């Protein structure tokens, strides 16, 4: 999430009551998760296991729960609870409405048709010649391109499934990102596409989604992908162009699938995959799987 205008390190520290290490006028441009963070942005870390990863990431400002040596050219925000203060920063600069106020500010392109039962949040952009079916829900800040079809019951821009356990309860990391649907995308009935925590969940141009598909926060789907019913994709995944995911495929968080791959039905993806065809609980190469099956059947 980029701020509307650059902020100073001291301003952010004062906002959350954190100690800062670095020049007080050190420029802060926004916040982001570690897998997408860029120069000028804040990333948070609250476990020693991930200190090095955060400190050596592209982040320029590290919101951390312990004072450590600050890398050259970077700054620290030392907080007793970085998770909490990350939420505080994000919600200070991005207001969360959750359909409680109808401010709208919606841009709708020429030739677009939206059923009267659809619910549209604030700061939404919808392109030309797009068709929105009954009972679709479009959350705040969603961007939809031209010639898009979104069928009944689909929800774009729900909260990310991102929690920590705190005092025996689940504490949510608040989502201030959005969903971006590029041109010529078709989305079936009862799909759910969560908005990014701090960035965008993206469905690439020309991709087609069947019914009852779940796509997690900050996942990026490439161009001209084909995704069958009941596929579940966790957050922070990257799916290349022209990938086919058949029914009930499940993809664990943070994995990448190279463009042109085919993932056969009920396959589980728990690691990055190079271009190929895969099947099985742990995404085995399809030809290798067939050879193994022949050998097993020929055992006496």
> Which residues have a catalytic role annotated?
217
Number of Cβ within a 10 Å radius of residue 108: 17
The single residue listed with the structure tokens 């994000």 is: 90
Q: How far apart are the first and last CA of the chain?
A: 61
DSSP state of 273: B
Q: Which residues pair with 7 in a beta bridge?
A: 28
Dihedral sign for Cα 182, 187, 190, 191, please. negative
> Are the beta carbons of 207 and 226 closer than 8 angstroms?
yes
User: From the DSSP assignment, how many helices (H) and strands (E) are in the chain?
Assistant: 4, 34
């Amino acid at each position: 999430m980029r701020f509307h205008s650059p902020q100073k390190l001291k301003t952010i520290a004062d906002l959350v009551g954190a100690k800062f290490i670095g020049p007080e006028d050190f420029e802060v441009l926004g916040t982001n998760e570690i897998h997408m963070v860029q120069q000028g942005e804040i990333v948070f870390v609250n476990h020693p296991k991930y200190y090095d990863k955060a400190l050596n990431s592209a982040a320029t400002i590290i919101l951390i729960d312990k004072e450590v040596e600050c890398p050259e050219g970077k700054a620290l925000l030392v907080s007793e609870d970085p998770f909490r203060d990350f939420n505080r920063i994000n919600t200070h600069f991005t207001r969360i409405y959750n359909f409680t106020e109808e401010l709208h500010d919606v841009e709708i392109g020429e030739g677009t048709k939206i059923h009267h039962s659809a619910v549209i949040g604030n700061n939404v952009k919808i392109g030309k010649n797009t068709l929105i079916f009954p009972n679709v829900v479009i959350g705040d800040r969603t961007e939809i391109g031209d010639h898009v079809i979104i069928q009944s019951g689909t929800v774009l821009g729900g909260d990310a499934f991102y929690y920590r356990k705190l005092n025996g309860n689940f504490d949510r990391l608040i989502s201030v990102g959005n969903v971006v649907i590029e041109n010529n995308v078709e989305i079936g009935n009862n799909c759910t596409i969560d908005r990014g925590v701090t960035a965008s969940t993206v469905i690439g141009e020309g991709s087609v989604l069947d019914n009852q598909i779940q796509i997690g926060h900050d996942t990026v789907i490439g161009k001209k992908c084909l995704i069958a019913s009941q596929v579940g994709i966790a957050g922070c995944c990257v799916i290349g162009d022209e990938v086919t995911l058949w029914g009930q495929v499940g993809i664990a968080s943070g994995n990448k699938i190279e463009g042109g791959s085919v993932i056969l039905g009920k396959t589980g993806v728990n690691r990055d995959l190079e271009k190929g065809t895969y099947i099985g609980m742990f995404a085995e190469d399809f030809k290798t799987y067939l050879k193994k099956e022949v050998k097993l059947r020929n055992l006496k």
